[in-house]
Amino acid sequence: MSENVLVVENLATTFHTKGGPVPAVGGVSFSLGPNETLGIVGESGSGKTVLSRTIMGLQPRTNVEVTGSVLLNGHQMVGVSEDEKRKHWATEVAMVFQDPMTSLNPVMRVGKQIDEVLRVRLGMPKDAAKARAIELLRLVGIPSPEERYSAYPGQLSGGMRQRVVIAIALACSPSLLMADEPTTGLDVTIQAQILNLIEQIKNDLNMSVILVTHDLGVVATRTTRLIVMYAGRIVEIGTTRDVFKDHRMPYTRALLESSPRVSNASHTRLQAIPGRPPNLLKLDQGCAFAPRCAFATQKCHEERPELEETGTPGHLFACWNPLTTKIGA
């Protein structure tokens, strides 16, 4: 029986700002087994990035309050000291950041940035670390890795930089890879390459992956399970297939329908979701999506729905007035 790589229970992150407390993430619970890929989708401001950082323990140190539990390979990551968390960074969980231009140190050669994590975390001697770094560069598909080893980030293209970031993340063979919008800043053609790379590596190294993105096209084919977030809370969670084809929460449908599809006829009108994401400082009672929901009832405005299961185990949604149609045959 394989242990769960990640068990998250009731995770909540609150920012204490001058204007008051901001509940960026609330009531998040899920678990992730080995070799699974979990997608987290939502609009900007849905809390998905805060969630990914909090799971890792990378949230800012001041004015932030985190409650709940995050068990990474059995180790608790919430409410422990930075030193404790640090033990598991890079060796058990690693992160791929969104913008490779800003996530690589611009004045340090890329080879050194990979070396560093091998020498400091794994205790490798200098030569062995360099050899392994070159090997990692080759693994992530960078041509002429021996030459690129001494390059500065500014001398590489966007796609190559992101590959370097991935190489750094893999260096200590973590069991969990958090990819926070890894392709958003890249050209469309490169996006597919990077995502394929992540998938290939995941299979080769037996990793689990959490893929955070706002792009539904990305999660459709590459994730086994999917979390939909809105206003910092999970509004639907299940297998990707279930969420796409049998979703219950109206927000999920709105999200799916707002993605333009190549298969649509030309001049099809873009379906935007009316209204704006809510101001988390002033959340009303009731469902956060209610003001924008076409199916909202009185109850939706008054009471916030909890997650409940559909017939299928593992498929949960939070809605008083769920959709009941199933799409497709």
Partner 1 sequence: MSNETAVSQVDKPEKRDPLGPLFWVCVGWATLTILASLLANWLPIESPITQDYTALNQGPTLHHLLGTDDLGRDILARIIFGGRISIGVGFGAMAIGFGIGAPLGMLTAYRRGRLDTIVTSVMYMLLAFPAIIATIAILSFWVPRALPKIIVVIGLASVPLVYRVIRTATLNVAAKDYVVAAKVQGASDRRILLKELLPNIFPIAISFLLIGIATVISLEGALAFLGLSVNPPTPSWGNMINEARTVLSTDPWLVIFPSLALCLFLLCLNFIGDRLRSYFDVTEVKL
Partner 2 sequence: MLKYLTRRFITLIIIVFVISVGSFYLIHLLPGNPETVILGIGATPLARAQLAAQLGLNKPIWMQYFIWANHMIHGHFGESFISQTSVSSVILRTLPIDLELIVLSQIIAYAAAIPAAMRAARKPNGWLDRIFSAGSFVLLSIPPFIIIVLLVLLVAIKFNIPHTGPSSYVSFSADWITNLESLALPAFTLAITSFTVYFRTLRSDMIATLQEEYITMARSKGLSRRRIFWRHAFRPSSVALLGASGINIGGLLAGGFVVQYLLAIPGMGYTLIAAINQSDFLLVQGIVFVVSVGVVLINFFFDFIINIVDPRISRE
Q: Which listed option, partner 2, partner 1, none, makes contact with residue 260 (CB within 5 to 8 Å by class)?
A: none
The residue among 175 and 240 lying less far from partner 2, judged by its C-beta, is: 175
Whole-angstrom distance, CA of residue 247 vs CA of residue 234: 13
The tokens describing 173, both together, are: 């063979």
* DSSP letter string, 11-23: EEEEEEETTEEEE
The residue among 45 and 141 lying less far from partner 1, judged by its C-beta, is: 45
Q: Which listed option, partner 1, partner 2, none, makes contact with residue 117 (CB within 5 to 8 Å by class)?
A: partner 2
**At a CB cut-off of 8 Å and minimum separation 6, what does 38 contact?**
30, 32, 208, 209, 210, 211, 223, 224, 225, 226, 227
**Binding of residue 295 to partner 2 (CB under 8 A):** no
Interface with partner 1 in residues 14-43 (CB under 8 A): 15, 17, 19, 22-24
CB of 71 to partner 2, least distance (A): 18
The residue among 19 and 154 lying less far from partner 1, judged by its C-beta, is: 19
**At a CB cut-off of 8 Å and minimum separation 6, what does 157 contact?**
none
Whole-angstrom distance, CA of residue 183 vs CA of residue 180: 9
Interface with partner 1 in residues 89-128 (CB under 8 A): 97-99
Neighbour-count burial of 268, counting CB atoms closer than 10 A to its CB (0-12 exposed, 13-18 middle, 19+ buried): exposed
**Binding of residue 184 to partner 1 (CB under 8 A):** yes
**Binding of residue 277 to partner 1 (CB under 8 A):** yes
Interface with partner 2 in residues 111-170 (CB under 8 A): 116-117, 120-121, 152, 154-155, 165, 168
Task: Label residues 287-302 b or e (16+ Cβ within 10 Å = b).
Answer: bbbbebbeebeeebbe
Interacting residues toward partner 2 by CB under 8 A? 56, 58, 82, 86-91, 94-95, 97, 99, 102-108, 116-117, 120-121, 152, 154-155, 165, 168
